[in-house]
Amino acid sequence: MKITYLGQNGFLFDLNGKKLLSDPFISPNPLAKAINVDDITCDYMLITHGHADHVADAESIAKRSEATVISNYEIVEWFGKKDIKGHPMNHGGKWNFDFGTVKYVNAIHSSVLPDGSYGGNPGGFVIWNDEISMYMAGDTALTMDMKLIPMTCPNLEVAILPIGDNFTMGVDDALIASDFIECTKIIGCHFDTFGYIEINKEEAIEKFKAAGKELILMEVGESVEL
Ligand code: NI
Ligand code: MN
């Protein structure tokens, strides 16, 4: 699986020949100014919750790509009114897509759409197929519910966790989260985009290393193969 970081919680995954895009926040993000939104296409779009820093470019990319939005029921309904296809889910449910299985899991956060519409309850995704199993937490606090993931899903190869603090978990709580989900390879997200969430990257990487884990902090635009 190839993963490209697009900033904040935006990632592009090449999975089983399908392109999955998460939470696109590109055109308003100064850290992503080298990325042209018009170059991005996807087959599916994963939306964790309704906040603007997760949906800013969702409508334009989904329409141009004729992508299917995978999110909670309320967010899928909202995009449906804009003539965007969707697959609605809710917490604890899973579905077999053509690229793999997706389970929509709990997050502790809030969710309102940019126009003030109700955005349902925020969530994260566990995605797996024959090749990979990964968890994208979305914006969330550290929560005991994370312990349910290794009990109910295949062993995680990698997890994408927010580490910027203030609006989500910070580095120390993300390290505890990596224990809860029993995963040693973590990709950090939701940091440095604005002042409230600026972090000391070297210190964060060292904290994970000291615990025998790997924290990968990708540059915006960078790709890794997993
Ligand atoms: Ni949020
Ligand atoms: Mn956010």
Could you say which ligand is closest to the alpha carbon of residue 190? 2
At 209 the pLDDT is 98
CA 110 to ligand 1 centroid distance, Å: 6
Residue 67 Cα to ligand 1 midpoint, Å, equals 22
Tokens of 106: 């709990």
Question: Phi and psi (nearest 5°) for 196?
Answer: -65, -20
Q: Which ligand gives the minimal distance to the CA of 112?
A: 1
Question: How do strand 223-225 and strand 10-15 relate by DSSP bridges?
Answer: unpaired
Give residue 15's pLDDT. 94
Burial class (CB in 10 A: 0-12, 13-18, 19+), 202: exposed
Q: What is the spatial distance between Cα 225 and Cα 214, in angstroms, rounded to a whole number?
A: 15
State phi, psi for 11 to the nearest 5 degrees: -135, 150
Distance 130 CA to ligand 1 centre (A): 31
| Intervals of the chain under pLDDT 50 | none
**H or E stretch covering 189:** strand 185-189
pTM tops 0.95, yes or no: yes
Domain ranges, ordered by start, for the chain: 2-225
- In this prediction, residue 189 carries a pLDDT of 98
The domain 2-225 having CATH identifier 3.40.50.2300: the answer here is: no
Centre of ligand 2 to C-alpha 223, Å, is 21
Q: What is the pLDDT of residues 32-81, one digit of tens each?
A: 999 999 999 999 999 999 999 999 999 999 999 999 999 999 999 999 99
Distances (CA, A) of 87 to 23, 84, 103: 15, 10, 12
Distance CA 181, CA 9 (A): 19
Cβ atoms of 161 and 183 within 8 Å: the answer is: no
Ligand nearest to the CA of residue 110, numbered in listed order:
1
Kindly identify the ligand whose nearest atom is closest to the C-alpha of 119.
1
CA of 129 to the centre of ligand 1 (A): 28
- The CA 190 to ligand 2 mean position distance, Å, reads 7
Residue the block writes with tokens 């895009």 = 21
